Structure 1
């Protein structure tokens, strides 16, 4: 047996041939490729769901902003009405005080006897 034949292990029992080794490596690569494709598909589905959730959140935010603007406008109107009512009430109070003063001037002071 020569030294080159000692290194040749192709015919040993249980040792794969170079073709079998390549085929096995190819199957490993195919399995890894399939697994990566599956993971990629799942990641894309999650991304699409996140994009949908983002769009939904934006629409809800826009609705909330519109509602907030409406409520702010209503609040401004109510504040204006309250301000106007306070001014009117102060005017009426001044008139009441003026009339009370006139009434007090017309009626004599009563003296209470104890």
Structure 2
């Protein structure tokens, strides 16, 4: 059998270890650059979300303040409405009594006319 001491890697078209390391470094550099672009984009997205969140918190606080103000106004309106309702009920009672007295007055006038007889 024949022993050959020569390195046959070059004959088969295989890369040398140095070429393989350079290729691996190139792949890693590309991956790092891609990750840095993604990280910058993610940071920009996060900054935008933080800004949106701050705006929503401010809007929510404003809306809650308006709600408290409107609720207080509604409560005042309910109290005023209740007072007006009491006044209306009192006026209805007076109107009912007035109607009753008017009818009673007519009845009494009629009785008086009958008792006093015909007028000359």
TM range (shorter): 0.7 to 0.9
Query: Secondary structure at the residue paired with 2:11?
Result: coil
In structure 2, the partner of 1:58 is: 57
Stretches of structure 2 that go unaligned for 5 or more consecutive residues are 111-120
Distance 1:49 1:82 in 2: 48
TM-score (norm 1): 0.81
Distance 1:58 1:30 in 2: 41
Listed as ranges, the matches of 1:31-110 within 5 Å are 31-108=30-107
Q: Once the two structures are superposed, what CA deviation does each residue of 1:87-106 show, in whole Å capped at 9, x if it has no partner? A: 00111111122222222221
Structure with greater helix percent: 2
Distance 1:64 1:4 in 2: 86
Structure number with larger C-alpha Rg: 2
TM-score (norm 2): 0.78
Q: Once the two structures are superposed, what CA deviation does each residue of 1:4-56 show, in whole Å capped at 9, x if it has no partner? A: 64xx3443363322111111111111111111111111111111111111111
Stretches of structure 1 that go unaligned for 5 or more consecutive residues are none
Query: Secondary structure at the residue paired with 1:46?
Result: helix
In structure 2, the partner of 1:21 is: 20
> Could you list the runs of 4 or more consecutive aligned residues of structure 1 that deviate by over 4 angstroms after TM superposition?
none
Query: Secondary structure at the residue paired with 1:75?
Result: helix
Q: State the superposition RMSD in angstroms.
A: 2.1
